Structure 1
Amino acid sequence: MEFDLQWLLLGLPVAFALGWLASRFDLRQWKREQKESPKAYYQGLNLLLNEQHDKAIDAFIEAVQHDPDTSELHFALGNLFRRRGEYERAVRVHEHLLKRADLPASERERAQHALAQDFMKAGLFDRAQQAFEALEGTVFDTEARLALLALHERSREWRAAAEVAARLERSGSGSFATRIAHHWCELAAEADARQQRSEADEALQRAREAAPQSPRPLIMAGQRERARGEHRAALLHWGTLMAAHPAAFNLVAADYADSAKALGEAEAALERLEALYRRQPSSDLLAAIGRLDGDAARQRQRTLAHLQHNGSLSAAQALLASGDDEAKAVRDAVARAAKPLQRYRCAACAFEAQNYFWQCPGCLGWDTYPPLRQEDL
């Protein structure tokens, strides 16, 4: 069968025309997609700036559909989901990015960090820990370790927290000595609760080695000695505390007075407390002095002077307590008014508590409570 060249001559122009039409169609579609993608992206940004998060998410989803390979759109969308509390959707977005084989190493690390933040916000601490640990040696190494430190503290894994804090300090990320001392103090308290005295002694020694100038190890050491009846040793620890941290001494002023009385050294202790009170008056010191001085008239004069110079409602309450029954209504009113001012307040988040905390229950910050009650600040 002979091949007819006429068909070839006719077919070539037809094939060329079809190819040209197809290329024109693809070019127009590509231009349209390229035009629509940034338009949706900028529309999403505008909506986001106007606090219209629902519409912004819809716009970003539309932009991602037009250009599914653009990682920036995925990051923007994932961050929006996280801010809105839609953590499951944020996780899906960032996990999708991690599954892409063409994602550069820097973008992969960024996606891993975003995924770890998703888990952290969602309260999935085990998965968050694994995700942050996977960032070791990356540009997010320091941020990941700081997050791990917060995770260990939240979970009360104090030994692990101390190790992470020590690594951060060795890497030059700042000083974590006081924070490490708190970790060892927490371990000492837990060991004491289990009646493992030697383990508690070792933990407390580690705390003092980590931060020799920190007041908490001295306070705890004195309290442990006093609980065992070793009042002399307790006074030695608290004497060091009084010289190095006079403000923090308020936390144990009453215990100091009781231990001094137990040793028959009330007079000498009274002189020391009065000297400290003259430099830094406080209601806690005033109460401790009252424990040591058996003369009610002198203590009443001290309380009146404190009330006149410091305007303390606690002093007014103490003064009224020594009066007759006719003053009962006034005493009760002053007691109610004084109670809020007898609390400690976190300087970071303003969380108030009747008891002193080394770590704020509200913001989880360390040493954010001044060692003075509100009325003495």
Structure 2
Amino acid sequence: MEFDPQTALPLGLLGLMVAFALGWLASRFDLKQWKREQQESPKAYYKGLNLLLSEQPDKAIDAFIEAVQQDPGTSELHFGLGNLFRRRGEYERAVRVHQHLLGRGDLSVTERDRAQHALAQDFLKAGLFDRAEAAFKALEGSAFGTDAKLELLTLYERTRDWPAAIEIARQLEAAGAGSFATRVAHYHCEIALEAETCRRAAEAEAALHEARTAAPQAARPRVLEGHRHVQAGRHREALAVWDDLLAVQPTTFPLIAGDYAASALACNDDAAASSRLKAVYERQPSLDLLTALLRLTPDAAERQSLLRAHLQAHPTLSAAVVLLKEQLARGESLSVADAEQLQLLAAAAAKPGQRYRCAACGFEAQHYFWQCPGCQTWDSYPPRRQEDQ
């Protein structure tokens, strides 16, 4: 068969037209499919968000998984899903989501650091402290560097790695993240306590010195130093340290008021100590200070006067118990005024137990309700008061 140019030309043109038509149809099909996917993905996302706001986390997770499957390239959906897993305690699934993100090659540096930070938080929440530490350290120099150091500080506190905590706190201070002096002082105090437990006196003393150097106004180093003197039988030295505490942090003094009185009695300095305690008590009355002051007051009538004055000004059950002990120790019966005061205290203390509590929402009321005023549930109040249950 001979070649006819006039016939070949229309056939070639027809082939080109067919190819163009097929390409156009394919592009239209792909475009429609892409539009449909783009429409379905936000729908699934908003569905998950709505379920989450409606406090239906299980269904919300299913919706987010569907959205991720429809649009696996969207990193925000992965972050949202991973955070949901972590909040629900499903740390292994959260780790898988964030590791998948880190394995993608199309993430920007910022998104990669964000995924690394999320993965480190997963490990921390799961209790995998070694892996969390390594993950946080990998963020050094990134936009999440300061946050990672703060998380590391928390991690070292939980694992009681005080030297590492001190180092991280110093780095944070150098980076301008604020002052960590008080926390560093606490870390040194913890080191001192551990050294004292292991009978390493020199190390404990050095740690307390570092604590006072880190935070000169901190109360805890002085409290511990005084206790060390007491354990060694150096009561005058303990009193001197705690006098310094009284001058620097007077609000903390009630914590060691009883020990202060005991040391004063041990070195026959009870008169001077009683005078100091009275001055402190007048400025900031507390039962701890009163109890210490009573130990230094030999006269029974004066002790009774101090107790009644405190109970009248500060009517608490704890103060009433101290008064009762004092009366029993003396073998005396309560006066009418004391009995009336104790009756008022007992009535006030009994009030919380006289309430009814809704079994559905916990709403408490003095009167019984057939329908809870809080959650509107019927028959949700047990017919017994709290103190009877």
For normalisation by structure 2, the TM-score amounts to: 0.80
Residue type at the aligned position of 1:321: K
Q: CA RMSD in A?
A: 2.4
Q: Structure 2 CA distance, aligned partners of 1:75 and 1:234?
A: 56
Task: Choose from 247, 250, 253 the match for 1:246.
Answer: 250
2:77 corresponds in structure 1 to 73
Gaps of 5+ in 1: 341-377
Relative to structure 1, is the Cα distance of residues 224 and 64 closer, same or farther in structure 2, using a 3 angstrom cutoff?
same
In structure 1, the residue corresponding to 2:327 is in which secondary structure? coil
Q: Counterparts of 1:51-200 in structure 2 under 5 Å?
A: 51-200=55-204
Relative to structure 1, is the Cα distance of residues 281 and 66 closer, same or farther in structure 2, using a 3 angstrom cutoff?
same
Contact 1:320–1:327 (8 Å) recurs in 2: no
Relative to structure 1, is the Cα distance of residues 30 and 312 closer, same or farther in structure 2, using a 3 angstrom cutoff?
closer
Residue type at the aligned position of 1:241: L
Residue type at the aligned position of 1:78: G
1:288 paired with 2:292, answer yes
Q: Structure 2 CA distance, aligned partners of 1:16 and 1:326?
A: 113
Offset of residue 90 of structure 1: 1.2
Higher relative contact order (CA 8 A, sep 6+): 1
For normalisation by structure 1, the TM-score amounts to: 0.82
Q: Structure 2 CA distance, aligned partners of 1:277 and 1:326?
A: 27
Relative to structure 1, is the Cα distance of residues 24 and 218 closer, same or farther in structure 2, using a 3 angstrom cutoff?
same
Q: Deviations for 1:128-184, whole angstroms, at most 9, x for unmatched residues? A: 111111111111112111111111111111111111112112211112111110000
Q: Structure 1 CA distance, aligned partners of 2:326 and 2:31?
A: 95
Relative to structure 1, is the Cα distance of residues 9 and 197 closer, same or farther in structure 2, using a 3 angstrom cutoff?
same
1:227 corresponds in structure 2 to 231
Contact 1:306–1:312 (8 Å) recurs in 2: no
Q: Structure 1 CA distance, aligned partners of 2:61 and 2:316?
A: 55
Contact 1:41–1:60 (8 Å) recurs in 2: yes
1:354 corresponds in structure 2 to none
Q: Deviations for 1:272-297, whole angstroms, at most 9, x for unmatched residues? A: 11121122221111111222222222
Q: Deviations for 1:99-145, whole angstroms, at most 9, x for unmatched residues? A: 01111000000101111111122222222111111111111112111
Offset of residue 235 of structure 1: 0.9
Q: Structure 2 CA distance, aligned partners of 1:253 and 1:47?
A: 56
Relative to structure 1, is the Cα distance of residues 4 and 28 closer, same or farther in structure 2, using a 3 angstrom cutoff?
farther
Q: Structure 1 CA distance, aligned partners of 2:239 and 2:169?
A: 32
Q: Counterparts of 1:261-272 in structure 2 under 5 Å?
A: 261-272=265-276
Q: Structure 1 CA distance, aligned partners of 2:2 and 2:78?
A: 60
Contact 1:304–1:315 (8 Å) recurs in 2: no
Contact 1:307–1:316 (8 Å) recurs in 2: yes
Residue type at the aligned position of 1:273: L
2:21 corresponds in structure 1 to 17
Offset of residue 318 of structure 1: 2.2
Relative to structure 1, is the Cα distance of residues 42 and 243 closer, same or farther in structure 2, using a 3 angstrom cutoff?
same
Q: Structure 2 CA distance, aligned partners of 1:76 and 1:264?
A: 68
Q: Structure 1 CA distance, aligned partners of 2:54 and 2:3?
A: 70
Offset of residue 24 of structure 1: 2.4
1:255 corresponds in structure 2 to 259
In structure 1, the residue corresponding to 2:140 is in which secondary structure? coil
Task: Choose from 270, 273, 278 the match for 1:274.
Answer: 278
Offset of residue 314 of structure 1: 2.7
Residue type at the aligned position of 1:136: E
Offset of residue 4 of structure 1: 7.4
Q: % of aligned pairs identical?
A: 62
Relative to structure 1, is the Cα distance of residues 37 and 4 closer, same or farther in structure 2, using a 3 angstrom cutoff?
farther
2:359 corresponds in structure 1 to none
Relative to structure 1, is the Cα distance of residues 4 and 290 closer, same or farther in structure 2, using a 3 angstrom cutoff?
farther
Q: Structure 2 CA distance, aligned partners of 1:75 and 1:108?
A: 11
Matched pairs, number? 334
